[in-house]
């Protein structure tokens, strides 16, 4: 389980940092970013992330996290979600398409399987999508044509079939 000691805690290196914004009314502080990269974290992704309503960046890159992405995360306002290089499994959840604030989604180097859910086409603000090095199969959904702001798409080292869509 991921624990945060205190909102005011900002650690020295950017791989291990909790960032807070204390400019809310009444001097209230809210967690706006969590960067816990390469920290040897294990266990599953915490459902309680949804209880951080002002969280914009969540970077848990290169740990030993397992399981899948909790459905509760569909209620977040994340702009950056980086959970690549972990041990996550199962299908890429369709409910990720509900996080319409996402600008960057990186789930590379896990063990996700199945097809790319068409619901990801609902991520209208997405600029970067990285799905490389999983076990994703099938054709890319036409719904991805809705990602008109996409600047970077990384799909290598999967098991896609069919031809490369025109929108790429």
Mean pLDDT of 97-114: 99
How many CA atoms lie less than 13 Å away from 24 in the CB half-sphere?
Answer: 10
pTM of the model: 0.91
What confidence score (pLDDT) does residue 6 get?
52
Going by C-alpha positions, the residue among 65, 53, 46, 62 that lies closest to residue 4 is 46
How much is the mean pLDDT over the chain?
A: 93
What confidence score (pLDDT) does residue 62 get?
99
Q: Which residue has the higher pLDDT, 165 or 121?
A: 121
Per-residue pLDDT reduced to its tens digit, 16-44: 999 999 999 988 999 999 999 999 999 99
pLDDT tier at 168, thresholds 50, 70, 90? confident
126/20 Cα distance (integer angstroms): 24
pLDDT tier at 7, thresholds 50, 70, 90? low
Tell me how far the alpha carbon of residue 125 is from its chain's centroid.
14
Does the domain at 16-160 match CATH 1.10.10.10? Answer given as no
Mean pLDDT of 122-144: 97
Mean pLDDT of 90-97: 98
Evaluate if residue 64 carries a pLDDT over 90.
yes
Report the SS3 class of residue 92.
coil
């Amino acid at each position: 389980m991921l624990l945060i000691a205190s909102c005011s805690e900002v650690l020295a290196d950017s791989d291990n940092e909790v960032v807070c914004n204390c400019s809310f009314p009444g001097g209230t502080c809210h967690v706006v970013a969590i960067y816990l990269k390469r920290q040897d974290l294990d266990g599953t992704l915490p459902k309680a992330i949804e209880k951080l309503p002002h969280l914009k960046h969540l970077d848990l890159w290169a740990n030993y996290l397992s399981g899948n992405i909790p459905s509760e995360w569909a209620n977040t306002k994340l702009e950056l979600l980086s959970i690549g290089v972990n041990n996550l499994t199962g299908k890429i959840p369709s409910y990720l398409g509900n996080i319409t604030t996402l600008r960057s989604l990186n789930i590379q180097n896990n063990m996700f399987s199945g097809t790319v859910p068409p619901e990801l086409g609902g991520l209208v603000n997405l600029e970067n999508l990285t799905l490389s090095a999983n076990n994703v199969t099938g054709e890319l959904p036409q719904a991805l044509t809705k990602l008109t702001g996409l600047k970077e798409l990384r799909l290598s080292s999967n098991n896609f079939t069919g031809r490369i869509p025109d929108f790429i």
